Amino acid sequence: MRRLIPRGYLFTVVGIAIGVAGLVALGAMAERITRFIQGGDRFVTGQISVAGAGIGMGAGFTGGGLLTAARIAELRQVPGVAAVQAQVMLPFNPSVSQFLTLTQELVLGVDAAVPSPNRHYRQMPVDRGRFLQPGDRRVAVLGADFAAARRLDLGAALPLGGVDFTVVGVLDKMLTAPDRFAIVTIEDARDLWLRRDPLLVQVFGSGSGGLVRADLNSGAAVGWRDGEDPDAVARRIRDGVKGVNVTIPSELSQTLRASTVFFSALLLGIGTLGLVIGGLSLSNTVAASVFERIRDFGIKRALGATDAQLLGEVLREALAVSLGGGGLGVLLALVIGTLVDWRLARDGQQLFFFSPRLLAFTMVFSMLLGTMAATYATLRIARLSPAEAVRRGT
Partner 1 sequence: MLVRAVALVKSYRGGGGAPVSVLMGVDLEVKAGEFISIVGASGSGKSTLLNLLGLLEPADAGEIWFDDERVSHLGRGAQARVRGTRIGYVFQAFLLVSSLTALDNVLLAARYLGRDRRAAHGEAMRLMERLGVAHRRNHYPAELSGGEQQRVAYCRAVLNAPPLLLADEPTGNLDDDHARVVLGELRMQARERGTSVILVTHGGGTAAHTDRCLRLRGGRLEPMNS
Nearby residues of 208 by Cβ (< 8 Å), 6 or more positions away: none
First to last CA, the chain: 28
Residue among 21 and 390 whose Cβ is closer to partner 1? 390
Task: Write out the binding residues for partner 1, residues 284-323 only, by CB under 8 A.
Answer: 295-296, 298-309
Residue among 8 and 205 whose Cβ is closer to partner 1? 8
Q: CB under 8 A: which stretch of 4-12, 152-160, 165-173, 207-215 binds partner 1?
A: 4-12
Residue among 130 and 316 whose Cβ is closer to partner 1? 316
Task: Write out the binding residues for partner 1, residues 358-387 only, by CB under 8 A.
Answer: 385-387
Q: CB under 8 A: which stretch of 2-10, 76-84, 110-118, 135-143 binds partner 1?
A: 2-10
Q: CB under 8 A: which stretch of 3-11, 143-151, 209-217, 234-242 binds partner 1?
A: 3-11
Residue among 73 and 387 whose Cβ is closer to partner 1? 387
Task: Write out the binding residues for partner 1, residues 155-214 only, by CB under 8 A.
Answer: none
Residue among 96 and 387 whose Cβ is closer to partner 1? 387
Write the binding mask 326 to 365 for partner 1: x where contact by CB under 8 A, - elsewhere: ----------------------------------------
Residue 2 as a binder of partner 1 (CB under 8 A): the answer is no
Residue among 107 and 286 whose Cβ is closer to partner 1? 286
Least gap, CB of 11 to partner 1 (angstroms) = 13
- 308-313, Cβ contacts within 8 angstroms, sequence gap of 24 or more: 310/378, 310/382, 311/375, 311/378, 311/379, 311/382
Least gap, CB of 39 to partner 1 (angstroms) = 50
Write the binding mask 55 to 74 for partner 1: x where contact by CB under 8 A, - elsewhere: --------------------
Least gap, CB of 304 to partner 1 (angstroms) = 2
Rounded Cα distance, 37 and 112, in Å? 27
Backbone torsion region of residue 386, taken as left when φ is above 0, otherwise alpha when ψ lies between -120 and 50, otherwise beta:
alpha
Least gap, CB of 297 to partner 1 (angstroms) = 10
CA-closest candidate to residue 25, choices 264, 266, 270, 262: 270
Q: Which of 7, 151, 242, 357 binds partner 1 (CB under 8 A)?
A: 7
Interface positions with partner 1 (CB under 8 A) = 6-8, 295-296, 298-309, 385-388, 390, 394
